[in-house]
Amino acid sequence: MTKKLVFGHSNPDTDTIVSAKAYSYLLNQLGEDTEAVALGTPNEETQYALRHFDEPAPRVITAAKPEVDQVALVDHNEAAQSVSDLAEVEITNIVDHHKFGLTTSTPLFIRAEALGSAASILVKMFDENKVEIPAKLAGLMLSAIISDTLLLKSPTTTEFDKIAVKTLAEIADVDFESYGLEMLKAGTNLSTKSELELIDGDAKSFEMGGKTLRIGQVNTVDIAEVFERQAALEDAMKAENAKNGYDAFLFVVTNILTSDSELLLVGDVTEQVEKAFAGKLVNNRLALPGVVSRKKQVVPPLTAAF
Amino acid sequence: MTKKLVFGHSNPDTDTIVSAKAYSYLLNQLGEDTEAVALGTPNEETQYALRHFDEPAPRVITAAKPEVDQVALVDHNEAAQSVSDLAEVEITNIVDHHKFGLTTSTPLFIRAEALGSAASILVKMFDENKVEIPAKLAGLMLSAIISDTLLLKSPTTTEFDKIAVKTLAEIADVDFESYGLEMLKAGTNLSTKSELELIDGDAKSFEMGGKTLRIGQVNTVDIAEVFERQAALEDAMKAENAKNGYDAFLFVVTNILTSDSELLLVGDVTEQVEKAFAGKLVNNRLALPGVVSRKKQVVPPLTAAF
């Protein structure tokens, strides 16, 4: 059996790190030889979860070759979010809950569903394959769902996510609400982060209407505190646009307690952004009440406007 | 609940027609409102199976709009093989066993696996969702697997396909070997077909080494009978090359009883074809013993030779 590496997207979040660990564990239980790795160091929220459940962070890689010829992707499927040499290896497995932009030369295994997290899909797959989820892993998978759904409050949350959280909380023996809030708060310690870390830590690139948009997001318990650094944030966004050829940088600051966001824009796409969110940018900022999900509430209206 | 249409690829084969029916049935059992339709009239093999299990052929459509806004694809995922207006509707579900060439703007449900047929994946999905397969549908799903794997002899056959065929044969209460052979034979009545229907009915185009190859295939129980029409077949292949700019037309005639094929070539790629199959073309023909799968046994050696 050829060894496979299992990994999530670059700028890893909790769901991506945990889903790689969970899928690797499942594949190994089913007789494959895999290793979960990551395309970056876990963020503070993920580190809190790993510490809490006493699990190691995956080894960090930047390329799959020459180590392996086959890879399994979790929580992403597009080359732009993956290893630098994705085109040179065979993708044999994908578990994902995002939109698809994928071309393969051979048939492969794909399990995709519009659930709140990739970890939720894996909960189904453990059940279907009659593999038990160990308690520590259950705690991590619970963390992944809580992270991606902001404690089941994001509009991406499905009925199955709620069931999965309850099931996993029982296996892991934690109170998911109090644990979840502590974990989310651990990820909102923004004061120690540089402006670049804030805007780009979780950022993804999107092609819309011939333009390249970079969209970053941070969670906080105090939006105003983040915007105290607005001038420095804008400088960092300008520099990133120039360095990487982005047409625009959108930075979404989300309050996890109130489930609202505020957007900061640097780049010449004012018209499209105002159209997308039916509002006027003032001082490059736009309030997005009720918006917490980049995937469901930021990218689709932007795509439509472009 | 919005109504969805469920369909397979154009030029429908047995797996595509049956998988649409099976997936529509499963989705409806799970509470959705779907209808299985087809992008063409079932071929003679499929008609034999539908008659045998007393099931109606799906209604034929050419476009999804204005009837529905959402579609579920089975046995294909690429726009070139689908309804003309695929770009105007939302793909919400895909069940497929082919390579992927897919871009969506939203997350969706995908179940893909490199099994012998799409129907085999659906066997797993019925089981996972704890939905019983009705006897008639089991007979059709059996037919689909037998068709795509040539009675489990094609190299695309997996261990799961074999298990699925046995399970389905029990539910449908048929002897799968004798039934399967009769069904495959029903699809080999080539005498009523024109030369163009024979060479191009199942043909696909491939780019190799800067050349465009068209590769068609028919199943038969008597290769010699097909080659009685060799001169007329070559004329049709020449005409297709000229009309469509193909550099060469390869026509593979496969004996489903012996699992052997014979190739007919029209086009200036003799050297590459002889290299690919390690033989000499005589009278434009080359015997391919043991070859039944275009996907696994014809395209890869040709790709390597070019």
Rounded CA-CA distance A145/A50 in Å is 14
Strand partners, A107: none
pLDDT of residue A262: 97
Name the residue among A109, A114, A303 with its Cβ closest to that of B108. Answer: A114
Which of B186, B216, B246 represents a domain boundary (last residue)?
A: B186
Does residue B68 share a domain with residue B146? yes
Residue with tokens 């050419």: B62
pTM: 0.87
Does residue A181 share a domain with residue A289? no
Does residue A200 share a domain with residue A181? no
Residue B1 has pLDDT above 70, yes or no: no
CB-CB neighbors (< 8 A) of B102 in chain A: 100-103
**Which of B270, B264, B192 is closest to B224 using CA atoms?**
B264
Report the domain count for chain B: 2
CB–CB contact A100 B103 (8 Å) = yes
pLDDT bin (cut points 50, 70, 90) of residue B48 is very high
Which of A153, A186, A219 represents a domain boundary (last residue)?
A: A186
Rounded CA-CA distance A301/A207 in Å is 14
pLDDT of residue B226: 95
Q: What is the pLDDT of residues B100-141, one digit of tens each?
A: 988 898 899 999 999 999 999 999 999 999 999 999 999 999
- Kindly give the parts of chain A with pLDDT less than 50: none
Does residue B143 share a domain with residue B85? yes
Maximum CA extent, chain B: 61
CB–CB contact A99 B108 (8 Å) = yes
Rounded CA-CA distance B235/B231 in Å is 6
**A→B interface, C-beta within 8 Å:** 96-114, 128, 295, 300, 303
CB-CB neighbors (< 8 A) of B97 in chain A: 107
pLDDT of residue A1: 60
Cα–Cα–Cα angle for B294, B300, B305, nearest 5°?
125
Does residue A134 share a domain with residue A88? yes
Q: Are strands A211-220 and A204-208 parallel, antiparallel or unpaired?
A: antiparallel
CB–CB contact A107 B97 (8 Å) = yes
CB-CB neighbors (< 8 A) of B104 in chain A: 99-101
- ipTM attached to this prediction: 0.86
CB-CB neighbors (< 8 A) of A15 in chain B: none
Does residue B179 share a domain with residue B201? no
Instruction: Give B32→chain A minimum CA distance, Å.
Output: 16
Instruction: Give B105→chain A minimum CA distance, Å.
Output: 6
Rounded CA-CA distance B221/B112 in Å is 32
Instruction: Give B108→chain A minimum CA distance, Å.
Output: 5
Strand partners, A217: A252
Does residue B62 share a domain with residue B152? yes
Residue with tokens 């300008």: A238
Interface test with A, best of B110, B120, B157, B296 (most A CBs within 10 A): B110
Does residue A262 share a domain with residue A298? yes
pLDDT bin (cut points 50, 70, 90) of residue B11 is confident
CB–CB contact B110 A112 (8 Å) = yes
Interface test with B, best of A100, A124, A148 (most B CBs within 10 A): A100
pLDDT of residue A158: 97
Interface test with A, best of B106, B124, B130 (most A CBs within 10 A): B106
Interface test with A, best of B100, B105, B130, B154 (most A CBs within 10 A): B100
Does residue B127 share a domain with residue B11? yes
Does residue A88 share a domain with residue A199? no
- Nearest chain B residue to A103, by CA: B101
CATH number for the domain harbouring residue B82? 3.90.1640.10
CB–CB contact A99 B106 (8 Å) = yes
Q: What is the pLDDT of residues A66-106, one digit of tens each?
A: 999 999 999 999 998 999 999 999 999 999 999 999 888 88
**B→A interface, C-beta within 8 Å:** 97-114, 128
Does residue B172 share a domain with residue B68? yes
Instruction: Give B131→chain A minimum CA distance, Å.
Output: 14
Which of B186, B217, B237 represents a domain boundary (last residue)?
A: B186
CB–CB contact A113 B100 (8 Å) = no
CB-based contact A303:B103 (threshold 8 Å): no
Q: Which residue has the higher pLDDT, A47 or B187?
A: A47
Across B240-253, average pLDDT: 96
Q: Which domain holds residue A268?
A: 195-305
Phi and psi at B38, nearest 5°, equal -135, 155
- Nearest chain B residue to A126, by CA: B128
- Nearest chain A residue to B111, by CA: A111
Does residue B91 share a domain with residue B144? yes
CATH number for the domain harbouring residue A203? 3.10.310.20
Instruction: Give A201→chain B minimum CA distance, Å.
Output: 23
CB-based contact A296:A267 (threshold 8 Å): no
Rounded CA-CA distance A250/A36 in Å is 31
pLDDT of residue B206: 86
CB–CB contact B99 A109 (8 Å) = no
B171 Cβ partners below 8 Å, 6+ apart? B133, B135, B138
CB–CB contact B99 A111 (8 Å) = no
